[in-house]
A = this chain, B = another copy of it.
């Protein structure tokens, strides 16, 4: 995740205004320990600093932040989407019990050029996920 300053600079570069709603959302995103928050959580948290904020503004802002390359949205059908601040290629470990998402750096980057050469497919984005049960949930339940 970028620093607050870097995000604000990117926002300015993209001609986006620094509204109180937008900054409140950014502050939730950069808060440590709350990785990969969903729109609902961000709404609830941002409301503490900016009580007038609406849920539709949260959604609009998350889309805007995505367009500016500040975050990435992990979309899940049925479930809430989640925000991703780590834009480097990596694997998301998603716990099916507690919902926690952990980043795992890919030791050897898969050779995307080889895929393009073999198939003609031009890669612009990726989504690498392992589903299962995190260490804590495995210990407590089995």
Closest B residue to A137 using CB positions = B122
Stretch from A11-19, A26-34, A41-49, A102-110 contacting the other chain: A102-110
Binding site for B on A (CB under 8 A): 75-78, 81, 91, 93, 95-96, 102, 104, 106-108, 110, 112, 114-115, 118-136, 138-139
Q: Across the interface, which residues of B come within 8 angstroms of A128, CB to CB?
A: 127-129
Query: Main SS of chain A's interface residues?
Result: mixed
Would B138 and A131 count as touching, CB distance under 8 A?
no
Chain B residues within an 8 Å CB radius of A124: 96, 131-133
Q: Kindly state the separation between the CA atoms of A29 and B123 in the bound complex, as whole angstroms.
A: 27
Closest chain B residue, CB of each to CB of A127: B129
